[in-house]
C-alpha cells in the first residue's frame, strides 16, 4: 500500500479516535452525565457515527482547507517544477495582496485592498438591511399571524428560491437595466426623462444580494422569536411599555441567538457571494470574490487565489467572532 | 369615591362563542375580589377585558370611574400577574421589578431605591442581582407580585398565579397574598377555579359558569346561601336530590323524592308542583335520631380523617350521598355495608329550581 493511501485511510480513523477520546475525557471531568455514547447508540451505530463523522470532518473540512493553506504559501510554478528546489514556502502571495506586483510603482495594491474592504463593508450593510427587512416579518409570522396566513407567507417566501441563484440575478438585471421594466414604467409614467442607471450604481447588486440570502435571516429569527412566551410581550405591555421598548428589551434579547446566527450567515454568504457580483455588479465596482475567481481561472495563479480566499475567510471569521463577543454569545448558543 | 372597577353590560364574543354574557358588577376600592368558576367559564376572558387585552364586544368597563374604551393595556391603571408569571428570564430580579418604572422614565436612583424597598417587602433583599431562573417557585411568585406593585396600580389582577405551586406553598402564599393586599390597600381581582382559595382570601366572590356571573357575595353567602344549583354544587361539597314540591309555605317546602319526602328552606318561593332540587351539605347530615327529613342507605366507603369522617352511602335510587361526620360521632363509626339512617333539619336543606337541561 502506498504512503498516500495509508494516510487517506488512517487519518480519518485517527480523527474518529480523537472524537471518542474527547468524549471519554469530558466524561471523566464530569461534564456529561447519563449513559455513554456507545451505550445509547449501540456499538455498531456508535462506530458508524464516529467513523462517518470522522471521515466527513476530515475529507470535507480539514483536508481541503489544509491544502489551501499549504498552497497559499507556495510560489506559482509550472507542474514540472512542483516539488523541486524552487518549491519553497513563501509569503509572496500575501505580499501581493498588500503591495501588488514587484514591478508596479505604487506603494500599495489599492485596487485589491479597496475591493476587499468594499466587500466587507457592503456585506455588513446588507446584513443590517436584511435584519431590518426580516425582523418585522419574522415577528409577525412567529407571534401574530394566524396559522393559515403563516402557511401562505412561508410558501411565498420559499417558492421563489426554487429558481436558481444565477437566474434570479439575471432577472434583477432584466428588471433594472436601462431598458428594463422598472425604468420603462417610471418613464412611461412621466416620472423620469432619462433612465436611471440602477446597475451602474450597484443598486441591482445590493438588491440581488439582499434578496439572495433573505431566508437565511428569516428562519433563524422566526425560530428564535417563536419560542418567546406571548405572555412576556403582554406583561411588558401591561407594565406600560411602548411597542418599541418591548422589541428592544424583551423580544430582541430573547431572539439574540437567532439574530446573531442570521446575521453571521448572511454576512458570510454575501461576503463570499460570486454570482450576484458577477451578474449585477456595476462596471466601476470591483467586488472581492470575482478577484479571487480571476486569480484562479484568469491568471491561473492558484497559490495567489488560495491566499486571497484565505484572507477573505480569515476576515469573515474575525468579524463573526467579534460580533459574537459583542452580543456576549458563545458559538454553541447560535446553534440552538 | 368611585368604584375601583365597574362592569356594565359587558359581553365578549369570539365568533359565535359567547365567552362572557352580560356582566354587571361593581368592585369597591381596596376590595379583595375573586372570580370563581371552572375552566372555560369566561373568568380569564373577563380579567383580560379589564386589563385591555380583549375589547368587550358590548358594554362598558370603568376603572376609577373612567370609561376605559380605547385605552390600551399600557395606559390602564391595572397590573396583571400572569398564570405562568411571565417574568423576563434575561433580566435580573431587580431589573424585572424595575421594568415598569424604567419604561415610565423614572430616574435611575429613584428606581433603585424603590426596587430595594420592594425587595425588602417581599423578603428577598439579597436576591436583586440574581436571574429569575435561580429562584424557587415561591420566590418567583413574590417577584411577580413586586413587579406588578412597582408601577403602583390602582387595581391588581391575578390570573390563577398559585396554580403552579405545590399544596403547602399554595396555602402559605394565600396568607401572604392576603397580607400584601391588606398592607398596600389596593383592589385585588383574583381569578381561580379553587374554591378554597376564593373562600379563604376574598372579601367577595363572583361565581361564574358558562360566561354568566351566577352569584356575587362574600364567602359565607355563596357557601350558605347559594342562589343557583350551579353555585350550590360548585362551591363546596353538596348532595343534590331531585323531586317535586308537594307543599310550600312560610319559606319552607316539602319535596317528594324517590327516597321519601324531604323538607328544606325555599328562599326563592318555588310553588307546589314545581320540579326542584334539594341541596344538603355533607356536614348537615346526621346519623340516626329522628330528624324531620330522613332517608336510608347502605354505607359504601368510610374514610377516617381524625377530626372528620367521610362516609359515602348509596340510597335506594342508586344515587351516592356523602356525609361528613364531626368528632362527636367518633364513638359509633359506621362500617362499610351497614344500613344507615340519616337525616337533616329543615334549615339545612335548600330548595332550588331544577335547571332546564338536566
pLDDT digits (tens, 9 = 90+) for A97-144: 888 777 767 778 888 888 899 899 999 999 999 999 999 999 999 998
Q: Are B253 and B241 in contact (CB under 8 A)?
A: no
Q: ipTM above 0.85?
A: no
Cell of B84: 405562568
Residue pair B60/B69 in contact by the 8 Å Cβ criterion: yes
Which residue from A minimizes the CA distance to B51?
A: A238
Residue B289 has pLDDT above 70, yes or no: no
Comparison of pLDDT for B203 and A5, the residue scoring more: B203
Here the CATH number for the domain that contains residue B290 is 2.40.50.140
Residue B115 lies in a domain: yes
Cell of B119: 425587595
When CB atoms are compared, the residue of B83, B88, B104 closest to A250 is B88
> CATH number of the domain that B210 lies in?
3.40.50.300
More confident residue, A258 or A8: A258
In this structure, the answer to whether residues B65 and B42 fall within a common structural domain is yes
| Interchain contact, B99 vs A237, CB within 8 Å | no
Q: B274 by DSSP, 3-state: which?
A: coil
Boundary (domain end) residue, out of B193, B213, B230: B230
Rounded-to-integer distance, Cα A287 and Cα A266, Å: 16
Domain with CATH 1.10.3720.10 in chain A: 110-334
Distance from CA of B41 to the nearest CA of A (A): 21
What pLDDT digit, counting tens, does each position of A210-248 carry?
Answer: 888 899 999 999 999 999 999 999 999 999 899 999 999
Cα three-residue angle B244-B247-B249, rounded to 5 degrees: 130
Confidence band, pLDDT 50/70/90 cuts, at residue B358:
very low
Q: Is the Cβ–Cβ distance between B174 and B24 less than 8 Å? A: no
Q: Do B20 and B156 sit in the same domain of this protein?
A: yes
A239 and B99 within 8 Å at the Cβ level: the answer is yes
Residue B358: inside a domain: no
pLDDT at A179: 82
Q: What is the pLDDT of residue A33?
A: 61
Residue B94 lies in a domain: yes
Q: Which residue has the cell 358594554?
A: B59
Average pLDDT over chain A, rounded to whole? 84
Angle, alpha carbons B179-B184-B188 (nearest 5°): 75
Report pLDDT for A1. Answer: 45
B309 vs A161: CA distance, rounded Å: 72
Give the number of residues written for chain B: 358
Domain count within chain B = 2
**B202 and B302 share one domain:** no
Alpha-carbon distance B46 to A241, whole Å? 22
Q: Which residue has the cell 458570510?
A: A268
Burial A215-237, CB ≥16 within 10 A → b, else e: bbbbbbbbbbbeebbebbbbbbb
Which H or E run includes A324? helix A302-327
List, as ranges, residues 220-279 from A with C-beta within 8 Å of B. Answer: 229, 231-232, 234-242, 245, 249-250, 253-254
Band of residue B125 on the pLDDT scale cut at 50, 70, 90? confident
Q: What is the mean pLDDT of residues B253-278?
A: 88
Q: Which domain holds residue B296?
A: 237-353
Q: Do residues B78 and B155 both lie within one domain? A: yes
Strands B275-280 and B239-249, sheet pairing: antiparallel
Tell me whether B151 touches chain A (CB under 8 Å): yes
In the prediction, which pLDDT does A3 show? 64
Residue A54 and residue A12 in contact, taking contact as beta carbons nearer than 8 Å: yes
Residues B319 and B210 in one domain: no
CA distances from A175 to A179, A191, B107, B127 (A): 9, 17, 53, 60
pLDDT at B224 over 80: yes
Distance from the B161 Cα atom to the nearest Cα atom in chain A, whole angstroms: 13
Which H/E stretch holds residue A264? helix A252-271
pLDDT tens column, A51-78? 888 888 888 888 888 888 888 888 887 7
Q: Break chain A down into helix, strand, coil percent, rounded to 5.
A: 75, 0, 25
Provide mean pLDDT across the span B201-228: 92
Please indicate if any CB of chain A lies within 8 Å of the CB of B334.
no
Residue B51 with chain A: CB contacts under 8 Å = 238
Task: In whole angstroms, give the CA distance from residue A220 to residue A116.
Answer: 28
Rounded to an integer, the average pLDDT of A152-175 is: 88
User: Is pLDDT of B276 > 70?
Assistant: yes
Residue of A nearest to B147 (CA): A239
Task: Look at B22 and A6; give whichever has higher pLDDT.
Answer: B22
Instruction: Output Rg (C-alpha) for chain B, integer angstroms.
Output: 24
Distance CA A180, CA A260 (A): 37
Residue B251 sits at φ, ψ, to 5 deg, of 80, 0
* A254 vs A160: CA distance, rounded Å: 30
**Is A237's CB within 8 Å of B72's CB?**
yes
- Is residue B232's pLDDT more than 50? yes
Q: Quote the crossing angle between the two packed helices A110-139 and A92-99, to the nearest 10°.
A: 80
CATH of range A110-334; options 3.40.190.10, 2.60.40.10, 1.10.3720.10, 3.40.50.2000: 1.10.3720.10
Among A331-335, B34-38, B148-152, the least confident range: A331-335
Do residue A234 and residue B86 have CB atoms under 8 angstroms apart?
yes
What is the rounded CA–CA span in Å between residue B313 and residue B309? Answer: 13
pLDDT at B178 over 60: yes
DSSP state string for B278-322: EEE-GGG-EESS--SEEEEEEEEEEEE-SS-EEEEEEETTS-EEE
The interface residues of chain B toward chain A in range 57-76, judged by CB-CB distance below 8 A, are 72-75
Q: Give B82-118 pLDDT, tens digit per residue.
A: 988 999 998 999 999 999 999 998 999 999 999 999 9
- Boundary of a domain, candidates B230, B265, B280: B230
Same domain, B121 and B183: yes
CB contact under 8 Å between B86 and A229, yes or no, is yes
C-alpha dist (Å) from residue B15 to A49, A166, B19, B245: 53, 48, 10, 41
> Which pLDDT band, with edges at 50, 70 and 90, does A263 fall under?
very high
In a domain, B329, yes or no: yes
The CA distances from residue B175 to A319, B31, B162, in Å, are 55, 16, 12
> Of B330 and B309, which is predicted with more confidence?
B309
- Least Cα distance to B200 among B27, B25, B34, B26 occurs for B34
**CB-based burial of residue B311 (10 Å sphere; 0-12 exposed, 13-18 middle, 19+ buried)?**
buried
Q: Which of B72, B84, B99 sits opposite A231 (nearest CB)?
A: B84
Based on the domain organization, do B182 and B294 belong to the same domain? no
Give chain B positions within 8 Å (CB) of A249: 99
Report pLDDT digits (tens) over B45-70: 999 999 999 999 999 999 998 898 88
pLDDT of residue A298: 84
Same domain as B175, residue B202: yes
Of B196, B230, B264, the one marking the end of a domain is: B230
Interfacial B residues in 24-63 facing A (CB < 8 Å):
51, 53
Which triple of cell numbers denotes residue B213?
356571573
Same domain as B276, residue B156 = no
- Shared domain for B279 and B309, answered yes or no, is yes
Number of H helices, E strands in chain B: 8, 20
Q: List B295's β-bridge partners, or say none.
A: B342
Give the single-character DSSP code of B77. S
Amino acid at each position: 500500500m502506498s504512503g498516500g493511501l495509508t494516510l487517506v485511510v488512517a487519518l480519518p480513523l485517527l480523527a474518529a479516535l480523537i472524537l471518542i477520546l474527547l468524549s471519554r475525557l469530558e466524561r471523566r471531568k464530569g461534564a456529561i452525565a447519563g449513559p455513554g455514547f456507545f451505550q445509547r447508540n449501540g456499538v455498531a451505530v456508535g462506530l458508524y457515527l464516529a467513523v462517518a463523522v470522522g471521515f466527513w470532518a476530515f475529507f470535507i473540512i480539514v483536508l481541503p482547507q489544509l491544502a489551501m493553506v499549504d498552497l497559499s504559501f507556495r510560489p506559482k510554478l509550472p507542474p514540472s517544477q512542483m516539488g523541486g528546489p524552487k518549491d519553497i514556502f513563501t509569503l509572496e502571495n500575501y505580499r501581493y495582496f498588500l503591495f501588488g506586483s514587484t514591478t508596479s510603482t505604487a506603494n500599495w495594491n489599492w485596487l485589491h485592498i479597496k475591493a476587499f474592504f468594499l466587500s466587507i463593508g457592503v456585506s455588513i450593510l446588507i446584513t443590517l438591511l436584511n435584519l431590518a427587512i426580516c425582523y418585522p416579518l419574522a415577528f409577525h409570522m412567529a407571534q401574530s399571524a394566524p396559522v393559515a396566513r403563516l402557511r401562505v407567507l412561508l410558501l411565498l417566501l420559499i417558492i421563489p428560491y426554487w429558481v436558481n441563484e444565477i437566474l434570479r440575478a439575471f432577472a434583477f438585471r432584466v428588471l433594472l437595466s436601462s431598458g428594463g421594466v422598472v425604468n420603462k414604467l417610471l418613464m412611461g409614467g412621466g416620472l423620469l426623462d432619462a433612465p436611471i442607471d440602477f446597475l451602474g450604481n450597484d443598486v441591482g447588486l445590493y438588491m440581488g444580494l439582499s434578496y439572495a440570502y433573505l431566508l437565511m435571516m428569516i428562519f433563524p429569527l422566526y425560530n428564535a422569536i417563536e419560542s418567546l412566551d406571548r405572555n412576556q410581550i403582554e406583561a411588558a405591555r401591561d407594565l406600560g411599555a411602548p411597542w418599541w421598548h418591548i422589541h428592544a428589551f424583551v423580544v430582541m434579547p430573547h431572539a439574540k441567538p437567532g439574530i446573531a446566527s442570521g446575521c453571521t450567515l448572511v454576512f458570510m454568504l454575501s461576503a463570499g457571494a460570486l454570482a450576484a457580483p458577477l451578474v449585477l455588479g456595476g462596471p466601476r465596482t470591483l467586488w472581492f470574490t470575482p478577484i479571487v475567481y480571476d486569480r484562479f481561472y484568469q491568471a491561473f495563479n492558484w497559490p495567489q487565489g488560495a491566499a486571497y480566499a484565505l484572507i477573505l475567510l480569515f476576515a469573515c471569521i474575525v468579524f463573526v467572532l467579534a460580533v459574537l463577543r459583542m452580543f456576549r454569545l458563545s458559538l454553541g448558543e447560535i446553534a440552538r | 369615591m368611585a368604584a375601583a372597577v365597574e362592569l356594565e353590560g359587558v359581553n365578549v364574543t369570539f365568533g359565535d362563542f359567547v365567552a362572557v354574557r352580560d356582566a354587571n358588577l361593581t368592585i369597591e376600592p381596596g376590595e379583595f375580589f375573586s372570580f370563581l368558576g371552572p375552566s372555560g367559564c369566561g373568568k380569564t376572558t373577563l380579567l383580560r377585558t379589564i386589563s385591555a387585552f380583549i375589547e368587550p364586544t358590548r358594554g362598558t368597563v370603568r376603572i376609577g370611574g373612567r370609561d376605559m374604551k380605547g385605552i390600551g393595556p399600557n395606559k390602564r391603571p391595572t397590573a396583571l400577574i400572569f398564570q405562568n408569571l411571565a417574568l423576563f428570564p434575561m433580566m435580573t430580579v431587580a431589573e424585572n421589578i424595575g421594568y415598569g418604572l424604567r419604561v415610565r422614565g423614572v430616574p435611575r436612583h429613584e428606581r433603585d431605591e424603590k426596587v430595594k424597598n420592594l425587595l425588602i417587602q417581599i423578603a428577598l433583599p439579597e436576591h436583586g442581582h440574581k436571574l429569575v431562573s435561580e429562584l424557587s417557585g415561591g420566590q418567583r411568585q413574590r417577584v411577580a407580585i413586586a413587579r406588578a406593585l412597582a408601577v403602583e396600580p390602582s387595581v391588581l389582577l391575578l390570573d390563577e398565579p398559585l396554580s403552579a405551586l405545590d399544596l403547602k406553598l399554595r396555602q402559605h402564599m394565600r396568607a401572604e397574598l392576603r397580607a400584601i393586599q391588606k398592607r398596600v390597600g389596593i383592589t385585588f381581582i383574583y381569578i381561580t377555579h379553587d374554591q378554597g382559595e376564593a373562600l379563604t382570601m376574598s372579601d367577595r366572590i363572583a361565581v361564574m359558569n358558562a360566561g354568566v356571573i351566577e352569584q356575587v357575595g362574600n364567602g359565607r353567602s355563596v357557601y350558605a346561601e347559594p342562589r343557583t344549583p350551579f353555585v350550590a354544587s360548585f362551591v363546596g361539597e353538596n348532595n343534590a336530590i331531585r323531586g317535586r314540591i308537594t307543599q310550600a309555605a312560610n319559606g319552607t317546602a316539602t319535596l317528594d323524592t324517590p327516597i321519601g319526602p324531604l323538607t328544606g328552606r325555599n328562599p326563592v318561593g318555588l310553588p307546589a308542583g314545581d320540579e326542584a332540587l334539594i341541596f344538603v351539605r355533607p356536614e348537615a347530615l346526621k346519623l340516626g335520631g329522628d330528624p324531620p327529613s330522613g332517608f336510608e342507605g347502605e354505607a359504601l366507603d368510610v374514610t377516617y380523617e381524625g377530626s372528620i369522617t367521610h362516609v359515602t352511602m348509596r340510597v335506594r335510587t342508586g344515587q351516592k350521598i356523602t356525609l361528613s361526620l364531626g368528632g362527636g360521632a367518633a364513638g359509633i363509626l359506621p362500617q362499610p355495608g351497614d344500613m344507615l339512617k340519616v337525616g337533616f333539619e329543615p334549615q339545612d336543606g335548600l330548595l332550588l329550581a331544577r335547571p332546564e337541561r338536566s
